[in-house]
Each structure stands twice: as C-alpha cells, then as structure tokens.
Amino acid sequence: MVDLAGRPGGDHLFVVDRQGTRYVNCSDVELPYGRQLVRDVLDRSETAMSQTHCFLASELALKAQVAARRVAPAPMASE
C-alpha cells in the first residue's frame, strides 16, 4: 500500500466520508483473519467466517463471474 502523502510503511487506512478524509496508522493493529482462516480449514471450525457466509461469498463470486463481460481497453491518447 502506498501513502500518496509520502508517509513510510504500508499499513495505512484512509477513511473517507461526508465529513472528509481521515488517516489512521494501522502499523500496530493485529490482523488475525488469515491465521484464523487457516485454523478454520485445518480444524473445520468457523472462527474467521461462518460456513454460511463462505458459501454465500462463493456463490456471489461465481454469479459475478458468469455475468462478467470482457471490456476492451481504451485506446491510448496520441501525444
């Protein structure tokens, strides 16, 4: 992740809403999802995500893939 303002590191969060844009430094935030997902697969548990949620996400991805259409890239502007 790149911070366009030039802050070092890669753990940046930008919250944008009607009140404006706010920056949150997330370098000290634990991200347990990946570890929990691996444990779910190995243990057949539902810590990171419920089986129902996983099936719904998979179904939506498959439907999106079926509905997708290839779009040709826009022609490059001549200089």
Is the pTM of the predicted complex or chain greater than 0.85? Answer: no
Please tell me the predicted confidence (pLDDT) of residue 63: 98
What pLDDT is attached to residue 2? 64
> For residue 38, which of 48, 28, 29 has the smallest C-alpha distance?
48
* pLDDT single digits (tens) 6-24: 777 778 888 999 999 998 8
For residue 63, the number of C-alpha atoms closer than 13 Å in the C-beta half-sphere is 6
- Statement: residue 36 has pLDDT above 60: yes
